[in-house]
């Protein structure tokens, strides 16, 4: 709720208060939290002028704040009888009623405020909040959309609107609203990577770039800021995500990564890896398996039933520590996966798994060549990919007039493109051609939803390919 604590009356919604020094002093004390002094001055004013509506109103608010709802309600009602056309006063009355659990009466008070000023953003927000609390989510959305259209910087309205969309089951619209709220927070309440990502999700890529550029000015060469700046501009520095970015990023999220990815985003790849291997009649405990880019070891328990030997390789030391704790890997190695494949055992592995890893590569030809060399004859590679799709556009009923049509990566002329998320997406035709050129035959193709992003499934593909005999 907005404006439950008195503020200096707004010229837009209230007539100027009498030039009464005593009242101004009382109101100043009230706003500054000097409640005892404010109460004494309000009562002194009313002793001399019992019908002084401003003193009645703000003394009523003060008594409500002090815990005397009965006297507070009576005083505010008196003030509204004397001066019924103050939209702000009706809004404050609604906040008092809502705080007392009287939602229907509060809604009526907010409607009264809006009848007097249809552009009162706070009243629209507060009406939406009480409608939402009473389970009227559709009506709440209508009210809250009015609030954010009238005042796009009203954080609480974006938060309430996100909650309303969530109640209606529209996770995408909810996520956009939450992003809009996040970018409005004071700087000290945000993380720079999350702030930039929120701007990108809203389609505000110039603003995202400004966040990353400022970050780089403070910390020159910071790998996360450098990569995300390039991604926000759709201009990759290289044909793969820099190793320094992957190390810093995943070290930072190692302890919470699995909960956020699985519980928060519905990450689906590990069980699908198990399913595809089981459906392809893979014998139990028979394979020498390399989990390439194993991270915290999410795939480890899914691969273990098929493994004679299970090894993992990853760049993130802290992620590897989490993987080690699972107790399913025979060995774990900290190294770039292409370097590891090139310098490690050749023609050795029966199965190479790359789950949610090749999204950090644009050009996949070097990886496919290294994987082919490392696999034994007849060995297989199982990998997931994000698939480049036609551009998605923001909803027509996006929760903020600052939200533009979301920009996605440009048409991937090379068969792949860097997205604002910092990950690569690939065309399926590029994947099939590159696998064939590297000496692989695709055995299984499974379209999948990799995870949810802004409440929408990220389209992906799981491919099982065999090294030619």
Distance CA 381, CA 384 (A): 10
297 and 150 inside one domain: no
292 and 433 inside one domain: yes
166 and 262 inside one domain: no
Distance CA 54, CA 72 (A): 13
CATH number reported for the structural domain that contains residue 459 in this entry: 3.40.50.150
Is 317 among the domain residues? yes
Place of tokens 């009706």: 90
pLDDT tens digits, residue range 141-184?
999 999 999 999 999 999 999 999 999 999 889 989 999 999 99
Is 409 among the domain residues? no
- In this model, does residue 397 exceed pLDDT 70? no
139 and 280 inside one domain: no
Is 439 among the domain residues? yes
* Residue that finishes a domain, picked among 143, 170, 197: 170
Is 240 among the domain residues? no
Q: For residue 426, give the 3-state DSSP assignment.
A: strand
311 and 440 inside one domain: yes
318 and 446 inside one domain: yes
- In this model, does residue 5 exceed pLDDT 70? no
Burial class of 14 by CB neighbour count within 10 A (0 to 12, 13 to 18, 19+): middle
Is 307 among the domain residues? yes
For residues 200 and 421, the answer to whether their CB atoms sit within 8 Å is yes
262 and 165 inside one domain: no
Sign of CA dihedral 256, 259, 261, 264: negative
CATH number reported for the structural domain that contains residue 109 in this entry: 1.25.40.10
Place of tokens 């065999």: 466
* Residue that finishes a domain, picked among 136, 170, 204: 170
288 and 162 inside one domain: no
* Residue that finishes a domain, picked among 170, 194, 219: 170
Average pLDDT over residues 178-201: 88
144 and 271 inside one domain: no
Single out the residue of 223, 226, 277 nearest to residue 247, CA to CA. 223
275 and 151 inside one domain: no
Sign of CA dihedral 58, 28, 92, 1: negative
Integer angstrom CA distances of residue 304 from 268, 307, 444: 18, 5, 21
For residues 271 and 303, the answer to whether their CB atoms sit within 8 Å is no
- In this model, does residue 317 exceed pLDDT 50? yes
Is 374 among the domain residues? yes
Structure tokens at 289: 């398996």
Average pLDDT over residues 37-65: 95
Is 406 among the domain residues? no
Reported pTM: 0.71
263 and 161 inside one domain: no
Distance CA 251, CA 248 (A): 5
Which range marks the domain in which residue 134 is found?
A: 21-170
152 and 277 inside one domain: no
Neighbours of 188 (CB within 10 A): 5
Pairing of strands 349-354, 456-467: unpaired
pLDDT tens digits, residue range 74-104?
999 999 999 999 999 999 999 999 999 999 9
| pLDDT band, very low/low/confident/very high, at 208 (cuts 50, 70, 90) | very high
What is the structure's pLDDT at 429? 95
Is 245 among the domain residues? no
Which of 10-14, 96-100, 224-228 is predicted least confidently? 10-14
> For the chain, how many structural domains are there in total?
2
């Amino acid at each position: 709720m907005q404006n439950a604590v008195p503020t200096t009356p707004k010229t837009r919604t209230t007539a100027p208060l009498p030039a009464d020094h005593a009242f101004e002093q009382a109101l100043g004390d009230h706003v500054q939290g000097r409640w005892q002094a404010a109460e004494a001055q309000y009562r002194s004013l009313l002793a001399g002028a019992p019908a002084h509506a401003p003193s009645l109103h703000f003394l009523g608010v003060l008594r409500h704040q002090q815990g005397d709802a009965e006297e507070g309600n009576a005083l505010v009602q008196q003030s509204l009888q004397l001066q019924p056309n103050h939209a702000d006063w009706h809004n404050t009355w609604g906040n008092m009623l809502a705080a007392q659990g009287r939602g229907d009466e509060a809604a009526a008070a907010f409607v009264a405020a809006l009848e007097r000023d249809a552009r009162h953003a706070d009243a629209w927000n507060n009406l939406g909040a009480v409608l939402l609390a009473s389970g009227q989510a559709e009506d709440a959305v209508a009210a809250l959309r009015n609030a954010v259209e009238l005042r796009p910087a009203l954080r609480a309205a974006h938060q309430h609107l996100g909650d309303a969309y969530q109640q209606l089951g529209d996770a995408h619209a909810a996520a956009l609203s939450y992003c809009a709220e996040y970018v409005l927070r004071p700087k000290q309440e945000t993380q720079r990577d999350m702030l930039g990502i929120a701007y990108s999700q809203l389609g505000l890529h110039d603003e995202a770039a400004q966040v990353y550029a400022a970050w780089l000015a403070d910390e020159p060469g910071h790998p996360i800021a450098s990569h995300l700046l390039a991604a926000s501009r759709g201009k990759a520095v290289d044909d793969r995500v820099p190793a320094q970015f992957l190390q810093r990023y995943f070290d930072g999220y190692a302890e919470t990564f699995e909960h956020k990815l699985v519980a928060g985003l519905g990450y689906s790849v590990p069980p699908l890896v198990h399913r595809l291997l089981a459906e392809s009649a893979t014998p139990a405990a028979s394979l020498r398996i390399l989990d390439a880019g194993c991270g915290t070891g999410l795939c480890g328990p899914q691969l273990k039933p098929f493994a004679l030997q299970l090894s993992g390789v990853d760049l993130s030391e802290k992620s590897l520590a989490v993987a080690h704790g699972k107790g399913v890997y025979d060995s774990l190695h900290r190294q770039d996966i292409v370097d590891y494949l090139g310098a490690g055992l050749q023609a050795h592995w029966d199965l190479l798994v790359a789950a949610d890893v090749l999204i950090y590569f644009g050009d996949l030809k070097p990886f496919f060549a290294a994987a082919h060399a490392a696999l034994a004859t007849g060995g297989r590679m199982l990998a997931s990919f994000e698939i480049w799709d036609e551009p998605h556009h923001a909803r027509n009923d996006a929760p903020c007039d600052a939200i533009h049509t979301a920009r996605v990566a440009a048409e991937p002329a090379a068969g792949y493109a860097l997205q604002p998320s910092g990950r690569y997406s690939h065309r399926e035709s590029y994947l099939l051609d590159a696998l064939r050129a590297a000496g692989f035959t695709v055995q299984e193709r499974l379209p999948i939803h990799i995870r949810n992003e802004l409440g929408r499934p990220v389209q992906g593909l799981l491919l099982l390919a065999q090294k030619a005999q």
